[in-house]
Chain A
Amino acid sequence: MNSSKFFHVKRKIISAVMMSLSLVATLIAVIPLVLIFYYTISKGITYLNIDFFVAMPKPVGESGGGMANAIVGTLMLIGIGGAIGIPVGVMSGTYLSEFGNNKFGATVRFLTDVLSGIPSIVVGVVAYTLVVVPMKHFSAFAGGIALGILMIPTITRTTEEMIKLVPHSIREAGLALGIPKWKTTILIVLKTAWKGIATGILLGLSRAAGETAPLLFTALGNRFWSTNVMQPMASLTVYIYDYAKSPFEDWNNQAWTAALVLIIMISMLSLLFRIITRSKFKTK
């Protein structure tokens, strides 16, 4: 009787201790996120006004001004990156899942995993060597290629996993109707997996939007308005990098605002994807 009560109490104590430890761990995990939001919002909000979106950066010493060129630049760089990364990623993911059940597929799968682990600055160096050096100048195009390469592994593997989730019976249904395999794959299988693939694309785009290192020696940055993809282009992340390490308080504050705007842009992108991929059917 006594010993059973002893074990009961002991078990209760262990349970309570472990429960508190898990709670502490959860809190620690959430703290960085809360801090990021707290600082970017509280510090960034000061300079967040219409000017930030429509005006150009002011020279050192003059206060105010905005980052219109960097906002457009970031969007364009993601656009170029997406134009490369999305088709390559989705198509290679489709290949891996539908036709890649062989040695070649296994090799590609392995290499894609390796690519996803390569530091982004290395990808930047590669884009520098392949595009910037032959062209003899920095360009948004080179930056877009670097971002595109960075997106490929995420999009490829997500696409593959999502397509694999489509039941085999759906493919059989398509084939049994006399629909050729390529049409079944694109119009039925890919369409069924589309929501998951879109999430992968979004992850890839968000990651690319937040990259600084691969842009430093590809798109470089630009103090002026430019939408020429063959010329250096401004981006929010490079501005954050430059302004945050500058000695001017005004610039430091603008770096916070740029960070806030970047977070807002990625959230809007996420929202946009939700709307695009929303099912047209009511869920019961």
Chain B
Amino acid sequence: MDIKISVKNLEAFYGKNKVLKNISIDIPRNKVVAIIGPSGCGKSTFLRCLNRMHEVVGGTITGSILVDGEDLTKTDPVLIRKRLGMVFQKPNPFPTMSIFNNVAAGLRFNGVRNKKILAPIVEKSLKQAALWDEVKDNLEDSGVNISGGQQQRLCIARTLAVDPEVILMDEPASALDPISTSKIEELIFELKKNYTIVIVTHNMQQAARVSDFTAFFYMGELIEYDKTTKIFTNPSNKKTEEYVTGRFG
């Protein structure tokens, strides 16, 4: 299997509190990996370790995270975040920027100011995020005057515009209505052709629908990691079985 991200013995802390215990997991290229588990199991923390956002809120990590063989824990976090884009739980477009500038933000603030270069990238990103047809006539409108589902797709477009290799999604549809949710899920299906995707979700049907592999986290430990079909039909671990069948969590 072609491995994109290889996590070895990852431990994450908030102060002295250990929130991830000895996680080792391989994430294959151009696949969707779903992270499931009850609240507080460390799924979001795991995701935020991958693009070094965990340390923004004062956390620390040990272990190694290899992306194409390069250890992220020893690289400049600013560079890492361009390679591993992130979509958050709640849509968070920049309120003072137009739709166009929201998508272009990552490039503009890293020195690309020429609109002739930006325009095609913005269009491509919005098309990839399946938002282009809805906003193409209003690119100069505010990024927060569109619906929540559109805002989330705008945030996805914004992430795609900096041309990442991996997209990390932290419950990207949990604040959205069912129609917007299904749009995001279709989008994930399209995006995995070009990107490696790691998605944290509370919704087990969603994990089953969109992912190729599923990892079950519990109390900061990786309990089971396997093909999604196996996790949901014939899990090896009793805890996993209890969780996916809804007996706890």
Contacts and interface: CB of A to CB of B under 8 A. Distances in A.
- Which of B85, B88, B94, B155 has the most CB atoms of chain A within a 10 A radius of its CB? B94
Contacts of A169: 88, 90, 92
Interface string A169-191: 11111111111100110011001
B1 interface: no
A192 B155 contact: no
Given A175-B56, A176-B53, A178-B110, A188 B94 contact: yes
B40 interface: no
A281 B56 contact: no
B92 A173 contact: yes
- Which of B80, B85, B86, B92 has the most CB atoms of chain A within a 10 A radius of its CB? B92
A192 B96 contact: yes
- Which of A172, A173, A188, A281 has the most CB atoms of chain B within a 10 A radius of its CB? A173
A175 B53 contact: yes
A281 B88 contact: no
B57 to A, nearest CB: 9
A171 to B, nearest CB: 8
Interface residues of B, number: 29
Nearest to B81: A178
A180 B92 contact: no
A117 interface: no
A247 interface: no
A95 interface: no
Contact of B82 (A173, A177, A188, A282): A177
A170 B81 contact: no
Nearest to A171: B56
Chain A interface SS verdict (over half): helix
Contacts of A284: 145
Given A194-B96, A281-B142, A173 B155 contact: yes
Contact of A179 (B92, B106, B142): B106
A167 interface: yes
A57 B142 CA distance: 51
B53 A173 contact: no
A279 B81 CA distance: 30
Interface string A241-284: 00000000000000000000000000000000000000101101
Interface of B: 51, 53, 56, 78-82, 85-86, 88, 90, 92-96, 98, 105-106, 109-110, 141-142, 145, 155, 158-159, 162
11 contacts: A167-B92, A172-B92, A173-B158, A176-B159, A177-B105, A177-B162, A179-B78, A279-B142, A281-B98, A282-B141, A284-B145
Interface of A: 167, 169-180, 183-184, 187-188, 191-192, 194, 279, 281-282, 284
**Which 9 residue pairs of A and B lie closest in terms of their CB atoms, listed nearest first?**
A178-B82, A177-B106, A281-B142, A178-B81, A169-B92, A176-B86, A173-B92, A179-B109, A191-B96
